[in-house]
Amino acid sequence: MALSSQDVLAGLAELVNDETGIAADAVQMEKSFTDDLDIDSISMMTIVVNAEDKFGVKIPDEKVKDLITVADAVNFITENQA
């Protein structure tokens, strides 16, 4: 069964917290990964690969640069779930 946006957000927040230590409740839809959460490109790639495992989606490398905000990632994952 496909996960809701809220479920994906919660799961993604866990991955961000695990990689960076940023509090999970700071990971909100409108936040920018780089400008607001200060996540660098290396951590971002780790989060992306872990998100692929967790949500069963493929996130192509060329797509990663378009994932500016948390909402961008949540929406992409929600729409592309297996």
Partner 1 sequence: MRRVVVTGIGATTPLGGDALSSWQALLDGKSGIASLTDDWIEKYEIPVTFAGKAKVAALEVLTPQEAKRLDPSSQFALISAREAWKDAGEPEVAPERLAVDFATGIGGVWTLLDAFDTLKERGPRRVLPMTVPMLMPNGPAAAIGMDLGARAGVRTAVSACASGNESIANGFRRIQLGEADVVVAGGAEAAIHPLPIAAFAAMHALSKRNDEPARASRPYDVDRDGFVMGEGAGALVLEEYESAKARGAKIYCEIVGGAVTSDAYHITAPDPEGSGAARAVLAALEMAGATPSDVEHVNAHATSTPVGDIAEYTALKRVFGDHTDSLVVTATKSATGHLLGGAGAVEAIFTLLALKEQMSPGTINLDNQDPEIPLNVPAKPTPLSRHDAIAISNSFGFGGHNAVLAFRNV
Shortest approach of partner 1 to residue 45 CB, angstroms? 4
Q: Which of 1, 42 has the CB closer to partner 1?
A: 42
End-to-end CA distance of the chain, in Å?
9
Question: Does the footprint of partner 1 cover residue 20 (CB under 8 A)?
Answer: yes
Reading the block at residue 70, the tokens are: 């948390």
Question: Does the footprint of partner 1 cover residue 49 (CB under 8 A)?
Answer: yes
Q: Which of 32, 46, 64, 71 binds partner 1 (CB under 8 A)?
A: 46
User: Scanning the structure block, which residue is given the tokens 């971002």?
Assistant: 44
Rg of the chain over Cα atoms, rounded to whole angstroms, equals 11
CA-to-CA distance for 54 and 38, rounded, in angstroms?
Answer: 23
Residues engaged in binding partner 1 (CB under 8 A):
18-21, 41-42, 45-46, 49
